Structure 1
Amino acid sequence: MDIRWKLTAPGEAFNAHDLDSIMEFFADDCILEMPRGSKPWGSRFEGKRNVRDGLATRFEGLPDVHYGDAEHFADTMANTGISKWTLTL
């Protein structure tokens, strides 16, 4: 799997609100922390089922959320990279 694909594919899946594709990037024992939630620190979701449910709720509450203006920086020799984007609601 090419590092450039690993950097671009998650954003594409999030923009499509494609939960099946999004969840391919999460391990079974994953943890997702989001700044919005009932606790002072936001929300924490543990495990794939809970992460999926949390993301589904987010997409329902923010139907126009979009990750745009993406820039990806890849080091193909080290198989690492970083991405940055602008979140719009």
Structure 2
Amino acid sequence: MTETTLDASRVTADTLAAFSDAFNRHDADALMGWMTEDCVFEAAAGPEVYGTRFVGRAAVRAAFEAVFQSFPDAHWGHGRHYVIGERGVSEWVFTGTHIEGWRIEAEGCDLFEFRDGLIAVKRAFRKERPKQPA
């Protein structure tokens, strides 16, 4: 995983905070260490009612890396994390400059489902705002 050793039997708010820190480092290796082999990521945007769905570590990792490539300065700040049993929430403010030159700052959240101490499902939601010049 990372330098943070966490209880492998259950996910806590500290786990989600460390997961968020890995996003801010753009550390796909660390991120995938917290996810099940058959993990699911539902991105905030996409043509379906759930956005775009990625299934399995390879697809989820590629989706995360695509965000890091599209927004080289991507940052999820002001994090607040909650866990109740096998579900959790992370609230954040996403900021970043897209490689096309426009900037975003928007509140969002992730809804999580856990299994065997790992993240099985991550559903991302973000406020939709007009593109701002960088």
Q: Same fold (TM over 0.5)?
A: yes
* TM-score of the two chains, using structure 1 as the length reference: 0.77
The root-mean-square deviation of aligned C-alpha atoms, in Å, is 2.3
The TM-score with structure 2 as length reference comes to 0.54
Structure 1 unaligned residues grouped into runs of 5+: none
Q: Distance in 1 between matches of 2:89 and 2:44?
A: 21
Greater strand proportion: 2
Query: Which letter does structure 1 place at the counterpart of 2:36?
Result: A
State the match for 1:24 in structure 2. 33
The correspondence of residues 1-89 of structure 1 with structure 2, limited to 5 A, is 1=7, 3-37=12-46, 40-41=47-48, 42-73=51-82, 82-89=89-96
Q: How many residues align?
A: 85
- Distance in 2 of aligned mates of 1:44 and 1:31: 7
The percent of aligned pairs where both chains have the same amino acid is 35
Q: Secondary structure at the match of 1:27?
A: strand
Q: Report if the CA contact (8 A) 1:33-1:45 is conserved.
A: yes
| RCO higher in structure (CA 8 A, sep ≥6) | 1
Alignment partners' CA distance in 2, 1:34 and 1:82: 15
